[in-house]
Chain A
Amino acid sequence: MATHRCLLVEDSPTMRQLITFALKRIPNLDIVEASDGVDALKKLPGQKIDIMLTDINMPIMDGLKLISLMKNNPNYKDIPVVVITTEGGKEDRERGISLGAKAYITKPVQTTNLLKVVKEILPDL
């Protein structure tokens, strides 16, 4: 089975470790970590990213700005994006989806829900 690559963009080391821990249950999924939007943009070139998980509230560059930049770049616009947010409100979800995110997950992150969303977006995992 081909290996897929996930770009995880999250400023909290605790959350990065937690999500990485959970995603490691999925076989053939490599995880690339980035601490904010700028770090993510540095890590995108030169590797094939199959899915991106991003927090919204991050320093330097937030998740929505990152999504917006990616969707305007022909090299990255097709990468499916999942937004991880503390915001349970409808507006923020809709904002993320309108910018091109495929799905959202609210904090506190439930591992079962996270794995379900990732497998729905990459069904051959």
Chain B
Amino acid sequence: MSVQMWTYLFVFLSFGLYIGIAIWSRAGSTKEFYVAGGGVHPVANGMATAADWMSAASFISMTGLISFLGRDGTFYLMGWTGGYVLLAMLLAPYLRKFGKFTVPDFIGDRYYSQTARLVAVFCAIVISFIYVCGQMQGAGIVFSRFLEVDVTTGVIIGMAIVFFYAVLGGMKGITYTQVAQYCVLIFAFMVPAIFISMMMTGQVIPQIGFGSELVDGSGYLLDRLDGLSQELGFATYTEGQRSTQDVFFITAALMFGTAGLPHVIIRFFTVPNVRDARRSAGYAMIFIAILYTTAPTVAAFARTNLINSVSNAEYSAMPDWFRKWETTNLISFDDKNNDGKIQYVGDAEQNELTVSADIMVMANPEIAGLPNWVIALVTAGALAAALSTAAGLLLVISTSVAHDMLKRTFMPSITEKQELLSARISIFIAVLIAGYVGMNPPAYVAQVVAFAFGLAAASFFPAIVLGIFQKKMNKQGAISGMAAGFIFTASYIIYFKLINPAASTADNWLFGISPEGIGTLGTIINVAFAYTIASFTPDPPDDVQELVENIRLPGEA
């Protein structure tokens, strides 16, 4: 059976599964729509959190980026996993004890202020919206490359599927489809990784193959990769190029951001109690770690394989996969010295081959000559990753509008039925806008996606942690902290990424911190503002201090 047939089969089967789950898990109440009724098993919630969390970027792009960054790629690995330690110990159990539906619920009640609630709604919508556009775009690209439909058709198919289960099932539908999507995506990621590890090192477990000798007798994988990189004038794979302080700040920004992303936090509202919230953070960490410890191994395998396959090879003798990816411009060859061979070297003057980072996961099975069904599996996995994250984000947008803005702020008299209807309508509108942006991506969307982390780090993360651990933190402190952190981080990123990208070099950066890492400074600014302002303004009222006392203790919510 051809790759094309396998791809259709896998995509068809997985989509059928998602739709089946959606019909089975329709939501009848706002509690079901917002938090899946609050009765999700911690293992199921762990899987759903992992799928919610691992987006098209984790699945497709991260491995490729690490492959080209070498050791510097570490900030993605540690940053996107280390945040779960913070989430498990500083946020998840307390927010579950608090026991409402959304992050603005907590901010608004804890800081006894509608202004705080609305600031939180604004931050949640901006962060989630930036992020969801990237997912839609990712889904569109995967569709167009593998199913040979155009990007617009691809995005429409993706929209229709997400729309179906998100509108019908709300959090309940999303949770159980995410469980299925986790299984699809982890299987699709691990199978090629295991194949390649076995082929190159004879080890079944990629994490062990990573530190093993190659079967062709050329020594340890990482030593060989360092050697090849040096020979060809690339940076040594296991050594860092970026400044230590920049790597430090980027890692911290990704960790704080992970712990402050509303679509991840609300997953912990869906379990029955505080104990299960802690447990499901543990399961989520394990499920995520399976992919995150495998990604760097695939990065090293794929990079070695790529160099071995193309370096100094005759262009005319390149196999099918090379031509296929050339037509999508993900690989391009320019025979500068007209010798008909591919010079793939570090020196930009002489290098003849340009390879996009995205190709490393998508083309890796083909480069390694794996069976057709394995190649096709990657498509289903990438779509599962994109759609599961998109659905989680859309839910945040819809709850922010229907629950936080309408029910809790502007129209408190609406009935539960009306609230549910407005949640469905707002998900519908959000899907349409995200789909439109996915079809007509402004050039900057992809660049801005990573910065959702910076914004979450600088706004929600400190406001929530201070709200739990500092009983005396008041509304003035929290609001000014969130506003200062958000505005500082957003301006820095907008300046270096949108207004003046040419100036974005280490010399011009504040303390040598890149826009990717500036969220950490935003977090510090947030905390500094919060403490300073709070020390000049009155303490929070007694009932709020009691609320804080109460969420710190175990027991029923």
A and B together in one complex: no
Q: State the A residues within 8 Å of B (CB).
A: none
